[in-house]
Structures are given as structure tokens and as C-alpha cells.
Chain A
Amino acid sequence: MKVSVIAAQGDVEEHVLMARRALKELGLEGNVIATIRKEDVAKSDGIILPGGESTTISKLIHAKSIAEEIKKAAKEGKPVMGTCAGSILLAKYGDEQIEKTKTKLLELMDIWVKRNAFGRQRESFQTTLNIKGIGDFEAVFIRAPAIIKAGNNVEILATLDDCIVAAKQGNILALAFHPELTNDTRLHKYFLELLLK
């Protein structure tokens, strides 16, 4: 299996290393690459959109028509995971910050996202989340977004008070936090297992 981490901007390398570890722990043959070439994206079986600045990443993937390839892959049923900024880009609907910055979204999930939902960096935090199908997970939220509303076809995997912070719609997985920054590979394994289905 071939997994591409979209290397526009952000913590790309952390995802590559975690996905490689997860592959190994699952005993799967595969290859994880960081790429901004649309040919690579087209040929991958699964795609990861990393954390970073959503305004920057959105500009870069749209300028290079990688956005189109990601949409195509998602519609073919290939798994796509977005963490933090990546999860914003997966959404159909954004808040006023997203509108104000004219950030183009990939519109792959029926979710409404709010950028910097918990505040600025000073308000960034880590906490133990209970994630459906995973259990307790140490989650790192950095100027994190939140899903404030989701369509009926979206499966809610974790919440923090009124905010949804992990959700899945078919083959698409949105996480408001950064599993790639911890040592816990369970969410990356969860994502890779979607590739087997």
C-alpha cells in the first residue's frame, strides 16, 4: 500500500514517521512518502493532510492542482486523514475566519469547522480524550479547530464538551488534534486499517 503525506507545509515528517511505524506494527508491506507532486498523490492508496497553517496549505494545494487529486481519490473511496489544519480542509463549511481569509476547502465531509476554536497558542493544551473504537488517547491541541456541527452521515468519534474533535465519514477521517506529535500509533493504525477495507 502506498500512503502520501501532502508536503505543502506543516508537520509532514512527523506523519511520515508515525505512518511508517504504524505500518510496521501492523506487519503490512507499504510505502509512506512526503510529496507535493500530483502524480504521486494520484497513485496513492491513502492520503494524509498534516497539521500546519490551513491558509497556507490551502493556497499551495490549490495552486498545484493537488486539491483536485485529493478530491478524486476521496471520491474513489481511498482513505484520507486530516489532522488539525488538515481537518479544516476536509470540511464543507467554514467559520468567519475561513471566509475572511478566503480559504478554499476540499468539501469532503459534511462538517462545520471553526478555526482556532479554543483560542490562541496560550490556550493550546493536551488532555486525555476518549475516542470511540480506540479508548483513552493523549491528544495535543495546538491552536486547534473544532467541529461545531456535523451531518447525520458523520460518525462522531470523540468530543470535548460541546465540540466534536474526531469524526469519520465513510473513508474520511478528521482529527482536530495531532496524533503525529505523540508516540501513540493507534490512530495511524486505525487509518491504515481503513485502507484494507
Chain B
Amino acid sequence: MQLEKLRFGTELIKRGFAKMQKGGVIMDVTNAEQARIAEEAGAVAVMALHRVPADIRAAGGVARMADPKKIEEIMEAVTIPVMAKCRIGHISEAKALESLGVDMIDESEVLTPADAFFHIDKREFVVPFVCGARSLEEAVRRIWEGAAMIRTKGEAGTGNVVEAVRHMRLMNYAIQEVTKMDESELYSVAERYALPYKKLANAVAEEMGIKLREDEQIFGKYSMAEITDGLFEVLKEVKKLQRLPVVNFAAGGIATPADAALMMLLGSDGVFVGSGIFKSSNPPAYAKAIVEAVENWRDSRIVAEASKGLGEPMKGEEIDKLEEMLQSRGI
């Protein structure tokens, strides 16, 4: 092959990969057997994990990248794309996953964050990233950092869809507002969205009793002005397209076919199902039914039909009874 003429890891290729997932269901799996069940049910991709979120929640402690051996077994077992999670800001876990050849990396709040200040600069990678977001603000920052796909954070491992719905509604409403704004208003939004990048520089400035210089590189090679301009460009794209410029999936608490259909109705491009399938009483049936519901969300008869006699869904938890909210990690 004339390698010099091929270009790899461009934004078009990364965002394009995410577009191929649209209208599909991406399922969390912890071993080769589960991966095969997911592929057989019609999943468009699988997310390779050490534990599903419900078990991560129950186990406590630090949640990290899955064992590469497990990830490779899953990659061997199926022909559909295999994604894997790294901790927020953990550049080395992400590099390790890239070297394994996973098709997409989820920089995920479901794992314990590794960096209190920053997410990964995802433009530095050939492999595309998906990131969670609770709001337009978080989504715009992740897209500027190079995320090729956004998903709601929801509240993973709860089997409770309320937080995913909250995040999708917040995002949709904010996008509506963006479409009404002129450029100067949009720029003020960009300035506001840029503030969290200052956290590290502010902490040091305060500690040393100095003032931040305007052109200081505060995140990688980027100054505050460059970050603001970058976020402004993303916001202009949102205004023009009246949606996020990347694929936007629902995730975090989706447990039933009707949950999945609801997220599609709210404008999701597709659905991630974590614990909902392999914590139910009949994983193959749940997997098939959720694929069916995402495909046919407009036709409530098919959603009803798909929901029949599936057995027990995952038990689920009420949000206000939780000890820890995973979604507040990584803003």
C-alpha cells in the first residue's frame, strides 16, 4: 500500500466512526461470552469493562482501566468495534488502550478520575474518544478537546433513567438558546465555558500570591484566549447545525426497551446500555429487545411487543439514596 498517501486519525475519520454507530446500541461486556451475546443481539459495538457500573458501585475502591488481556479476548471474540474505558485525564491508560487497538476510548466518569484538573487532550490520539457530559457546557469542552462522540453521563449503574433524561433535556434546551444568540452573546458563553481550564493556574497563582499572565499556557500549549476561541468555534457550529457537531448518545441508567426508546425520542443518536443487560434476569432477551426498541422507537407497538415477557430488569436504585454520584466527576 502507498502508505505515504494515507492519512490516519483525522477529525473526519474520528467523527465518521462515531456516525457509523448512529441508531445503534453499544453494550457493556466483561468477557468474551457476553461480547458474543451482544453481537448476536445486534449491538453496533461493545464496551469492554472489568466490571459493569452496578458492580463498580457495589465494590467501591478505585475503578481503573480493564485488564488488557480481557480486552484482547473480547476483541478476538467479536467482529464489531470494541471500545474500552480509561480514567478521566489518565493519558497513559488511554495510550495503552490505543496500542491494544481498541476502536474507541471512553474517557469515563464511571472509573475513578486520575486528574483533578484536566481531561485528556484527545486531538493527540489516532483513536477516537467518547466522553460523558451533563450539559452543553461539558459537551462543548470535550468536543474542543477532540471528543468525536458525546454521551449523557446519566447515573451509571443505577438502572434509573432520570439522570440521563435530565442531561439530555439540559443539553437540548441549551442548544435551543444557542440558536437564538448573536456572535457576541455566544462569545460570552465561550468565556464562561472556558473558566474550568483555569483551575490549576488559579490554584498556583493563589498559592504564590501572583497574578496570572494573559498569554500563559494554562492547558497544554493553549492559553485562555485560545481555549475561549476554540470553544467559541464549537458553539458557532452548534448554532449552525442546531445540534452538537458530533454524534450524541444516551448513557447512564438505561435498563429497559422503553428507557432506550425514551432517550431516542429526546433526540439521542443511539444508546449505551451498561448494567441494564447483564444485570437483568435474561441478558440475550434484554439485549435483543433494546436493539429492537432503539431501531423502532417511533413505533410504540413494536416497543411494547419487544418489552413483553423479558423477565426481571436490573433492580435499580433511587438517585437520592446513593452515597456517591459518578456524574459529578470530570466537569
Contacts and interface: CB of A to CB of B under 8 A. Distances in A.
- Interface centre among B2, B17, B22, B126, by most chain A C-beta atoms within 10 angstroms, is B22
Interface in B68-106: 79-81, 98, 101, 103-104
Interface string B1-39: 110011111101100110111111000000000000001
A12 interface: yes
Contact of B17 (A36, A60, A124): A124
B12 A182 contact: yes
Interface string A129-156: 0000000000010110000000000000
Interface in A5-26: 7-14
A164 interface: no
Nearest to A177: B16
Given A53-B45, A125-B13, A126-B6, A120 B23 contact: no
B260 interface: no
Contacts of A12: 22-23
A60 B295 contact: yes
B291 A126 contact: no
Contacts of A11: 16, 19-20, 22
Interface string B48-81: 0000000000000000000000000000000111
Nearest to A138: B12
Contacts of A121: 17, 81, 103-104, 127-128
Interface residues of A, number: 41
Given A55-B79, A55-B80, A161-B1, A178 B23 contact: no
Interface string A93-106: 00001001100000
B16 A142 contact: yes
B297 to A, nearest CB: 11
Nearest to A97: B79
A134 to B, nearest CB: 18
Given A14-B19, A161-B1, A9 B295 contact: yes
Nearest to B126: A122
Nearest to B128: A121
B20 A140 contact: no
Nearest to B103: A121
7 interchain residue pairs of minimum CB distance = A121-B103, A125-B6, A9-B23, A11-B19, A53-B44, A97-B79, A59-B42
18 contacts: A10-B19, A51-B19, A51-B20, A52-B23, A52-B24, A56-B24, A56-B291, A84-B20, A121-B17, A121-B81, A121-B104, A121-B127, A122-B98, A125-B6, A126-B12, A127-B7, A128-B5, A161-B1
Given A53-B44, A55-B80, 20 more contacts: A9-B23, A9-B24, A11-B22, A51-B19, A53-B80, A55-B79, A120-B81, A120-B103, A122-B101, A122-B127, A123-B8, A124-B17, A126-B12, A127-B5, A142-B16, A142-B20, A143-B20, A161-B1, A181-B12, A181-B19
